[in-house]
Amino acid sequence: MQTNSRLSGTISVPGDKSISHRSIILGALSNGTTKITNFLRSADCISTMGVFRNLGVQIDDTPAEITVHGVGIKGLQAPKVDLDMGNSGTSTRLISGVLAGQPFVSRVMGDASLSKRPMKRIITPLSEMGSEIDAVENHLPMTIHGTQLHGIQYEMPVASAQVKSAIILAALQADGDTTIIEPVKSRDHTENMLERFSPDSIEKHDHQIVIHPHHELAGQAVHVPGDISSAAFFLVAAAIVPGSEVTIQNVGINPTRTGILNVLKRAGASITETNRTTGVEASADLAVKATELKPFTVTGHEIPGLVDEVPLLALLAARANGVSKITGAEELRFKESDRISVIVTEFKKLGIAIEELPDGFIIDGSKPWHLNDAKLNSHKDHRIAMTLKIASLLVDQPVTIKDFDSIKISYPTFNDDLAKLRS
Ligand code: SPQ
């Protein structure tokens, strides 16, 4: 373990990325203004803002708040440039749902990593609704020929909040109702926000959502809670670095996102929750103390609730006293990197006993780590970069992490928060 690795103190993490994207999108499609506080100013959310500015929406950014001057569902303008989604899968998939129903053609592109990510998952339902989308081998760049869409009934093959949200945003513009059925419930921020912006547009059941079109959206005040996926780095760090004791304030605890807390508790981590707020997107202060950890199992039905935290759970497993198994996580192969293969490659450099499965890992945390290669690589994936940084706290020699600046995608102030907890 590096000297001075112990983490202690209290921090607040920046606003939730998923909720920040959605507040711009629904704000733009509303009549009236939407004021957003604690918006996440990370590269991905800035991509979403840039796209809506290119669709004719005025968005003011002051230190206190973001103001979106909504134009209504029918008020977007045809873009004069390609719409650049940067590295952001969320921007691409959600905004494609919006563009599918507009009376103009748009060309959507992104960076090298985004251009490798699968788009068939949205092209299939949007085409069923009547949209024509050109994309070579279902990858970006993609040309979306907006048209009058039709309502459909769509049974999703894989749980995905991005696909579900793309269909919801398209369905708001259709000529009839749309029903979406999910195999396992994924994060429901779009539904929650739509219920506030346009209560008559949405009917929610357990695994089924019905969208009623023809209702207008009204601008709202949105306060974005802290991002549990960012807090997760320090929750896991505090659990695994001996002597640590950390509190993170105002973390979003929407039940579709708190899978990480359930697994931490199963592993025997000491975790307490205080100052819970109520409301659609509730938040709480979360405190974690380092303690002895037990091995654990995570299977497919839990994955949607912790999908972005799987690299961190692999790290938690590497410090638990026994063999842990994570399965049902094949979706990780389609993120900013192939997160299963990349975690295995990078953890082996740290001498962690990890075995790759098609859909996850087996990790023996009882075996001591031994550094094989100090040159770690984030593979330009923000979540891998930060997971490796936390892992490096437990290594007693210096390591480097290639392309660490990818943290700007979701957590630009990660280093400042880590420094606060180490001082
Ligand atoms: O936006 P992007 O790049 O897809 O972001 C990621 C991340 O790690 O930040 C995934 F790579 O989060 C997704 C998440 O995995 C954000 C998201 C959302 O806001 O709707 C949903 C999840 O993806 P999916 O495919 O399960 O819908």
| Interval 275-332: pLDDT, tens | 999 877 999 999 999 999 999 999 999 999 999 999 999 999 999 999 999 999 999 9
pLDDT value at position 128?
98
Measured from the Cα of 159, ligand 1's closest atom is: 26
pLDDT band at 1 (very low <50, low <70, confident <90, very high): low
pLDDT over 80 (residue 181): yes
Distance 216 CA to ligand 1 centre (A): 27
Q: For residues 214 and 339, which has the higher predicted lDDT (pLDDT)?
A: 339
pLDDT over 70 (residue 365): yes
pLDDT over 80 (residue 2): no
* Residue of 45, 158, 335 with the most ligand 1 atoms within 8 Å of its CB, for mutation: 335
- The domains found in the chain, sorted by start residue, are 8-14+225-422 (3.65.10.10), 17-219 (3.65.10.10)
pLDDT band at 3 (very low <50, low <70, confident <90, very high): low
pLDDT value at position 207?
87
pLDDT over 70 (residue 175): yes
pLDDT over 90 (residue 164): yes
| Average pLDDT, integer, range 376-393 | 98
The catalytic residue among 16, 188, 308, 417 is 308
Task: Show the ligand 1 pocket: residues with CB < 6 angstroms.
Answer: 17-18, 44, 88-90, 160-162, 165, 186-187, 307-308, 335-336, 383, 410
416 is annotated as an active-site residue: no
pLDDT value at position 313?
98
Three-state DSSP string of the chain:
CCCCCCCEEEEECCECHHHHHHHHHHHHCCEEEEEEECCCCCHHHHHHHHHHHHCCCEEEECCCCEEEEEECCCCCCCCCCCEECCCCHHHHHHHHHHHCCCCCEEEEECCCCHHHCCCHHHHHHHHHCCCEEEEHHHCCCEEEECCCECCCEEECCCCCHHHHHHHHHHHCCECCCEEEECCCCCCCHHHHHHHHHCHHHEEECCCEEEECCCCCCECCEEECCECHHHHHHHHHHHHHCCCCEEEEEEEECCCCCCHHHHHHHHCCCEEEEECCCCCCCCEEEEEEECCCCCCCEECHHHHHHCHHHHHHHHHHHCCCCCEEEECCCHHHHHCCCCHHHHHHHHHHHCCCEEEEECCEEEEECCCCCCCCCCEEECCCCHHHHHHHHHHHCCCCCCCEEECHHHHHHCCCCHHHHHHHHHC
pLDDT band at 5 (very low <50, low <70, confident <90, very high): confident
Distance 227 CA to ligand 1 centre (A): 13
pLDDT value at position 369?
97
| Average pLDDT, integer, range 87-107 | 98
Measured from the Cα of 382, ligand 1's closest atom is: 8
Distance 136 CA to ligand 1 centre (A): 22
Distance 94 CA to ligand 1 centre (A): 11
Measured from the Cα of 160, ligand 1's closest atom is: 27
pLDDT value at position 301?
97
pLDDT above 70: percentage of residues in the chain? 99
Q: What is the pTM of this model?
A: 0.98
pLDDT value at position 53?
99
| Average pLDDT, integer, range 386-405 | 98
pLDDT above 90: percentage of residues in the chain? 97
| Average pLDDT, integer, range 73-78 | 98
